Structure 1
Amino acid sequence: MSCSHCDPNDRRNVALVTSPRALLVGNPNVGKSTLFNRLTGAKQTIRNAPGTTVDLSSGGWSAAGHNVTVLDTPGTYSLLARSADEQVVTDLLTGELDGEREPDLVVAVLDAGAVSRSLYLLGQLSKVRLPAIVALTMVDVAKSQGQVIDAEALSAIIGVPVVEVDPRHGRGLDHLAEAVKTGLAVRPHIIGPEDRACTCVESGDCCQASRPELDSDTLAGMLAEADDVFAWVELVSARLGRSEHHVETTRSDRIDRILLNPYAGIAILLAVLWGLFELTTLVATPIMDWTEGFVAGPVSSFALGITGRIGMSGTWVESLLIDGVLAGIGVVFSFVPLMFIMFLALSLLEDSGYLARAALLADRLMRMIGLDGRAVLPLIVGFGCNLPALAATKTLPNSKHRTITALLVPLTSCAARLTVYILIAAAFFPNHAGTVVFAMYVGSVLLVIAGGLMLKLVFRDDTKHEPLFLVLPNYQTPRVWTVMEDAGRRALAFLKGAGVTIVVMLTFMWGLMAIPVKGDHSLGDVPVEDSLYAATAMSLTPIFAPAGFDDWHATASLLTGFVAKETVVASLAQSYQVDEPEENSYEDAEDSSLGSRLRDSFDESSGGHGSAAALAFLVFVLAYTPCVATLAEQKRILGWKMTGSAFVIQLVLAWVLAVAVFQVGKLF
Structure 2
Amino acid sequence: MSCSHCEPGDSRVATIVGSPSVLLVGNPNVGKSTLFNRLTGARQEIRNAPGTTVDLTTGGWSIDGQPLTVIDSPGTYSLLARSADEKVVTDLLVGGIEGHAPDLVVAVLDATALSRSLYLLGQLSKAGHPVVVALSMVDVARSEGVEVDAAAMGGVLGVPVVEINPRQGEGLDDLTAAIRTGLQIEPRLLGPDAKACTCADGGECCSLSTATPSDAATLAELLADADDVFTWVEVVTSRLGASSPRVETTFSDRVDRVLLHPIAGVAALLAVLWGLFELTTSVVAPVMDWTEGFVGGPLTTAALAITGAVGLGETWVESLLIDGVLAGAGVVFSFVPLMFIMFFALALLEDSGYLARAALLADRLMRAIGLDGRAVLPLIVGFGCNVPALAATKALPNSAHRTVTALLIPLTSCAARLTVYILIAATFFPDHAGTVVFGMYVASVLLVIAGGLLLKVIFKDDSSTDPLLLILPAYQKPRVLTVAGSAARRAFAFLKGAGVTIIVMLTLMWGLMAIPVSGDHSIGDVPVADSLYAEIAETVAPVFAPAGFDDWHASAALMTGFVAKETVVAALSQSYQVDEPAENSYDDAEGSDLGARLRADFDESSGGHGGAAALAFLVFVLAYTPCVATLAEQRRILGTKMTVGAFGVQLVLAWLLAVAVFQIGALL
Q: Common fold, TM-score beyond 0.5? A: yes
Offset at residue 524 of structure 1 (A): 0.5
Please name the residue that 2:186 is paired with: 187
What fraction of aligned residue pairs are identical, expressed as a percent? 73
Distance 1:86 1:209 in 2: 23
- 3-state SS of the aligned residue for 2:366? helix
Do the aligned partners of 1:423 and 1:589 also contact (CA within 8 Å) in 2?
A: yes
Please name the residue that 2:8 is paired with: none
Q: Alpha carbons of 1:208 and 1:144: their partners in 2 closer, same or farther (altered >3 Å)?
A: closer
**Counterparts of residues 325-344 of structure 1 (less than 5 Å):** 325-344=325-344
Do the aligned partners of 2:189 and 2:208 also contact (CA within 8 Å) in 1?
A: no
Please name the residue that 1:544 is paired with: 544
Offset at residue 245 of structure 1 (A): 6.6
Please name the residue that 2:637 is paired with: 637
Do the aligned partners of 1:58 and 1:71 also contact (CA within 8 Å) in 2?
A: yes
- 3-state SS of the aligned residue for 1:302? helix
Do the aligned partners of 2:126 and 2:212 also contact (CA within 8 Å) in 1?
A: no
Which region of structure 1 is more displaced relative to structure 2, 336-345 or 235-244? 235-244
**Counterparts of residues 288-327 of structure 1 (less than 5 Å):** 288-327=288-327
Q: Does 1:225 align with 2:225?
A: yes
Do the aligned partners of 2:30 and 2:137 also contact (CA within 8 Å) in 1?
A: yes
Do the aligned partners of 2:80 and 2:220 also contact (CA within 8 Å) in 1?
A: yes
Which region of structure 1 is more displaced relative to structure 2, 649-658 or 255-264? 255-264
Offset at residue 551 of structure 1 (A): 0.5
Offset at residue 144 of structure 1 (A): 2.4
**Counterparts of residues 239-258 of structure 1 (less than 5 Å):** 239-244=239-244, 246-258=246-258
Offset at residue 18 of structure 1 (A): 5.1
Distance 1:170 1:51 in 2: 34
Residue type of the alignment partner of 1:125? L
Q: Alpha carbons of 1:18 and 1:502: their partners in 2 closer, same or farther (altered >3 Å)?
A: closer
**Counterparts of residues 529-608 of structure 1 (less than 5 Å):** 529-608=529-608
Distance 1:396 1:214 in 2: 30
Please name the residue that 1:177 is paired with: 176
Do the aligned partners of 1:192 and 1:232 also contact (CA within 8 Å) in 2?
A: no
Do the aligned partners of 2:419 and 2:583 also contact (CA within 8 Å) in 1?
A: no
- Post-superposition Cα deviations, 1:410-456, rounded to whole Å, max 9, x if no partner, equal 00000000000000001001111111111100110011011111111
Distance 1:535 1:391 in 2: 36
Please name the residue that 1:484 is paired with: 484
Please name the residue that 1:72 is paired with: 72
Offset at residue 234 of structure 1 (A): 2.1
Do the aligned partners of 1:358 and 1:374 also contact (CA within 8 Å) in 2?
A: yes
Please name the residue that 1:133 is paired with: 132
- Post-superposition Cα deviations, 1:573-602, rounded to whole Å, max 9, x if no partner, equal 111111111131212211111111110010
Do the aligned partners of 1:295 and 1:330 also contact (CA within 8 Å) in 2?
A: yes
Offset at residue 58 of structure 1 (A): 1.0
Q: Alpha carbons of 1:193 and 1:118: their partners in 2 closer, same or farther (altered >3 Å)?
A: farther
Please name the residue that 2:3 is paired with: none
Residue type of the alignment partner of 1:117? R
Offset at residue 209 of structure 1 (A): 8.9
Offset at residue 148 of structure 1 (A): 2.4
Please name the residue that 2:108 is paired with: 109
Please name the residue that 1:14 is paired with: none
- 3-state SS of the aligned residue for 2:128? coil
Distance 2:345 2:245 in 1: 36
Offset at residue 637 of structure 1 (A): 0.6
Residue type of the alignment partner of 1:182? T
Offset at residue 213 of structure 1 (A): 4.0
- Post-superposition Cα deviations, 1:284-314, rounded to whole Å, max 9, x if no partner, equal 0011011101110111011111111111110
- 3-state SS of the aligned residue for 2:284? helix
Q: Does 1:161 align with 2:160?
A: yes
Distance 1:56 1:164 in 2: 25
Offset at residue 562 of structure 1 (A): 0.5
Offset at residue 569 of structure 1 (A): 0.4
Q: Does 1:380 align with 2:380?
A: yes
Q: Does 1:430 align with 2:458?
A: no
- 3-state SS of the aligned residue for 1:186? coil
**Counterparts of residues 11-30 of structure 1 (less than 5 Å):** 19-30=19-30
Offset at residue 237 of structure 1 (A): 1.7
Residue type of the alignment partner of 1:168? R
- Post-superposition Cα deviations, 1:167-213, rounded to whole Å, max 9, x if no partner, equal 222222121111111101123332588356699xx99xxx9998444
Please name the residue that 1:82 is paired with: 82
Distance 1:98 1:478 in 2: 31
Residue type of the alignment partner of 2:39? L
**Counterparts of residues 376-455 of structure 1 (less than 5 Å):** 376-455=376-455
Do the aligned partners of 1:159 and 1:198 also contact (CA within 8 Å) in 2?
A: no
- 3-state SS of the aligned residue for 2:106? strand
Residue type of the alignment partner of 1:383? F
Number of positions where the alignment pairs a residue of Structure 1 with one of Structure 2: 646
Q: Does 1:58 align with 2:58?
A: yes
Which region of structure 1 is more displaced relative to structure 2, 570-579 or 169-178? 169-178
**Counterparts of residues 258-277 of structure 1 (less than 5 Å):** 258-277=258-277
Distance 2:517 2:70 in 1: 56
Distance 1:571 1:367 in 2: 41
- 3-state SS of the aligned residue for 2:50? coil
Please name the residue that 1:150 is paired with: 149
Q: Alpha carbons of 1:490 and 1:193: their partners in 2 closer, same or farther (altered >3 Å)?
A: farther
- Post-superposition Cα deviations, 1:219-257, rounded to whole Å, max 9, x if no partner, equal 333333322222222222222221327533321112111
Do the aligned partners of 1:66 and 1:181 also contact (CA within 8 Å) in 2?
A: no
Q: Alpha carbons of 1:72 and 1:553: their partners in 2 closer, same or farther (altered >3 Å)?
A: same
Which region of structure 1 is more displaced relative to structure 2, 311-320 or 147-156? 147-156
Distance 2:543 2:607 in 1: 16
Do the aligned partners of 1:556 and 1:571 also contact (CA within 8 Å) in 2?
A: yes
- Post-superposition Cα deviations, 1:38-83, rounded to whole Å, max 9, x if no partner, equal 2112212111112111111111111244311111111110111111
Distance 1:56 1:180 in 2: 21
Distance 1:585 1:139 in 2: 58
Q: Alpha carbons of 1:268 and 1:280: their partners in 2 closer, same or farther (altered >3 Å)?
A: same
Q: Alpha carbons of 1:158 and 1:192: their partners in 2 closer, same or farther (altered >3 Å)?
A: farther
Distance 1:245 1:137 in 2: 16
Distance 1:521 1:353 in 2: 61
- So what's the TM-score if we normalise by structure 1? 0.94
Do the aligned partners of 1:189 and 1:208 also contact (CA within 8 Å) in 2?
A: no
Do the aligned partners of 2:190 and 2:209 also contact (CA within 8 Å) in 1?
A: no
Offset at residue 91 of structure 1 (A): 1.8
Residue type of the alignment partner of 1:592? S
Do the aligned partners of 2:128 and 2:190 also contact (CA within 8 Å) in 1?
A: no
Do the aligned partners of 2:135 and 2:161 also contact (CA within 8 Å) in 1?
A: yes
Residue type of the alignment partner of 1:562? F
For structure 1, list consecutive stretches of 5 or more residues without a partner in the other structure: 1-16
Please name the residue that 1:121 is paired with: 120
Distance 1:404 1:458 in 2: 10
Distance 2:84 2:210 in 1: 29
Residue type of the alignment partner of 2:392? A
Please name the residue that 1:659 is paired with: 659
- 3-state SS of the aligned residue for 2:88? helix
Distance 2:586 2:343 in 1: 34
Please name the residue that 1:347 is paired with: 347
For structure 2, list consecutive stretches of 5 or more residues without a partner in the other structure: 1-16
Residue type of the alignment partner of 1:228? D
Q: Alpha carbons of 1:193 and 1:500: their partners in 2 closer, same or farther (altered >3 Å)?
A: farther
- So what's the TM-score if we normalise by structure 2? 0.94
Q: Alpha carbons of 1:542 and 1:18: their partners in 2 closer, same or farther (altered >3 Å)?
A: closer
Distance 2:520 2:495 in 1: 40
Distance 1:260 1:620 in 2: 39
Q: Does 1:508 align with 2:517?
A: no
Offset at residue 469 of structure 1 (A): 1.0
Please name the residue that 1:6 is paired with: none
Distance 2:322 2:215 in 1: 56
